[in-house]
Amino acid sequence: MDQLTSMRVFALTAQAGTLSGAARILDMSPAMATKHVGALEARLGVKLLHRTTRKLVLTEAGQAYLEAVQRILAELDEADAAATAQRTLATGLLRLNTPLAWGVRHLAPLMPAFSRAHPAVTVELGMTDAAVNLVDERWDMAVRIGALHDDSLQARRLGGCRVVLCAAPAYLDEHGVPRTVADLAQHNCLSYTLSSTNTPSEWRFGADGSVRQPVRGNLRANSGEALLTIALGGLGLVYEPDFIVGDALARGALQALTLDHPPHDLGGIHAVWPANRHPPAKVRAMVDFLVAQLASRGPGA
């Protein structure tokens, strides 16, 4: 028989003074309550209750066992309550992993507002462009950019993500402005090495990425921010998300290039978390907050 249920029957019997009283509270038959107490006594090898003419009385062993059982059941109830609170109240440590550039530029500025709205949540930000395994590395959630392929994760869209081909005006003045995708073969293409679609030897164009263009360049990096800085120095072309190059484009430090095929669609920006019918309230709070904050900011925000 289930030991925890038997312990609850025993504790309630001691409190009520009768097996029928305990059975009534637990919505079970008196016969089943009797079996539970009998199973406990058989397992322990001691008598826990003496029956008198009017009620059951604890034996000496029963009294000592009751004190231990009450502690155990109280701790179990507290654990259940804490777990339920995690589901219903935003509290505790939230470990959130994001791509470096997006995290620095778009997430970090929002954290003061989130903390004011959810003061019981402590946020740990992990910012890296390398892929992480949420379950193995114990991240509560992450922000992912691009198409989603992991069916073990739940996701909610935060916004779009446009890719822009661009270069510094100084580079274009010296090397000319490419007009077609094929022209890229004659240019110095600075590549992001962690991309799941573009590589240092091939960039994709067309909305679905079906136009593949061989490229070459004398520098590649695993950081979009580093490539931005290098492109601003006039070394070559970069093919980067607008959340990285948008500010430089707006102030004219980089110039966007329009070719005969459009940039491919990265697939958007999503909040993701391990599949769970009841994600913790801290995760739901962060996802709802990000959706609300980013909804009106347009692509890349």
CATH number at residue 116: 3.40.190.10
Identity at 139, one-letter amino acid code: W
- Domain containing 139 equals 94-158+275-294
Does 12 have pLDDT greater than 60? Answer: yes
Same domain membership, residue 41 and residue 18: yes
262 within domain boundaries: no
> Is 268 among the domain residues?
no
pLDDT value for 152:
79
Q: Is the pTM of this model over 0.85?
A: no
Rg of the Cα atoms in the chain? 31
Candidate from 118-127, 141-150, 272-281 with smallest mean pLDDT: 272-281
**Is residue 265 included in any domain, yes or no?**
no
Whichever domain contains 81, its CATH number is 1.10.10.10
With respect to residue 147, please indicate whether it lies within any of the assigned structural domains: yes
Distance linking the first and last C-alpha atoms of the chain:
56
For residues 189 and 45, state if they share a domain.
Answer: no
Note whether 232 and 101 are same-domain residues: no
Q: What is the pLDDT of residues 184-200, one digit of tens each?
A: 999 999 999 988 889 99
Please classify residue 97 by burial: count the beta carbons closer than 10 Å to its beta carbon, then call 0-12 exposed, 13-18 middle and 19+ buried.
buried
Instruction: Flag whether 171 is in a domain.
Output: yes
Name 271's bridge partners.
143, 156
Give the mean model confidence (pLDDT) for residues 53-65. Answer: 85
pLDDT band at residue 86 using 50, 70 and 90 as cut-offs: low
pLDDT value of position 299: 43
pLDDT higher than 70, residue 156: yes
Asked, for residue 121, whether it belongs to a domain, the answer is yes
Torsion sign over Cα 29, 31, 33, 35: negative
Q: What is the number of alpha carbons within 13 Å of residue 241 lying toward its C-beta?
A: 28
Residue 136 lies in a domain: yes
Which of 179, 146, 150, 158 lies closest to 267 in space, CA to CA?
A: 146
Residue that is last in its domain, among 88, 112, 141 = 88
Q: 173-198 burial string, b = 16+ CB within 10 Å, else e?
A: eeeeebeebeebeebbbbbbeebebb
Alpha carbon distance 105, 241 (integer Å): 12
Number of domains, the chain: 3
- 131 and 56 in a common domain: no
Check whether residue 181 and residue 243 sit in a common domain: yes
- Tell me whether residue 263 is in a domain: no
